[in-house]
Chains A and B, each alone.
Chain A
């Protein structure tokens, strides 16, 4: 499997993740508006439901890929020197992967 996100692959990832994020954000905001969490216990119980936790985890995955494709485009446009560009890309990639692992640990540990 090729992991490099360029060209058509990046275009497709950006759109699939966008559609999923749109659906998740509408669901999430809608839920918060219709029934705002009353306290810690009800908030945590709601997020801990397997369907919600999995949907949220998938949203983070989509978000991090989406952010990667977008930030990569921005950096390729504005960070011209390779000596700067490579570390900048590596820093962003590392941060996104780190956040992804953090959210995986957080959302899979809820009971």
Chain B
């Protein structure tokens, strides 16, 4: 057992004699002990605000990927009557609806999380209790709006 390991083992047991371990700390590098590195996002318990935040980012990427599609739909719908009919039929097709609902969720979550973010910029609702409550509100409201859109589309 190396000197550093023994030091740690005795620390883990609460330290044999407080004074002895204390004096030897000056002799070993303070950062020699391995740090706790456990960043498996699927296993660590995230606070609800972390979920709101990561979904803000994920929904933003989704919305960005949809920009060319939105631009194309707009251009086609404005071109002529046939283009308009194509877009209307396309948006109403069963294959597109799930994508439209996902997009609606992304937009709703991104807008709500963005409003929450900007409110915390001006220090509104940044205390822990209020921040947790607004994070839950954003997460649930985003899904609720997507469900409303699903109900309207089907």
Is B68 touching A95 in the complex (CB atoms < 8 A)? yes
**Contact A99–B111 (Cβ < 8 Å):** no
- The reply to whether B78 and A106 contact each other, CB–CB distance below 8 Å, is yes
Q: Is the CB of A43 within 8 A of B68?
A: no
Total contacting residues, chain B, CB less than 8 A: 23
Known: A40-B80, A44-B78. A15 touches B85 (CB 8 A): no
Report if A18-B84 is in contact (Cβ < 8 Å); known contacts: A67-B64, A71-B61, A110-B78.
Answer: no
Expressed in whole angstroms, the minimum distance between the Cβ of B110 and any Cβ of chain A is 9
Q: What size tier do the contact residues of chain A reach?
A: 20 to 34
B74 is an interface residue with CB less than 8 A from chain A: yes
Nearest chain A CB to B24 CB, angstrom units: 39
Answer whether A22 and B85 are a contact pair too, CB < 8 Å, given A43-B77, A106-B75.
Answer: no
Determine which of B64, B68, B83 lies in contact with A70 in the assembled complex, contact meaning CB atoms within 8 Å: B64
Closest to A67 in B: B64
Do B67 and A63 have beta carbons less than 8 Å apart?
yes
Q: In the complex, which residues 73-111 of chain A have their Cβ closer than 8 Å to any Cβ of chain B?
A: 74, 95-96, 99, 102-103, 106, 110
Q: Which residues from B are CB-within-8-Å of A47?
A: 78
**Residues A99 and B77 in contact, CB atoms below 8 Å apart:** no
Q: Is the CB of A103 within 8 A of B71?
A: yes
A71 to B61, CA, bound (A): 7
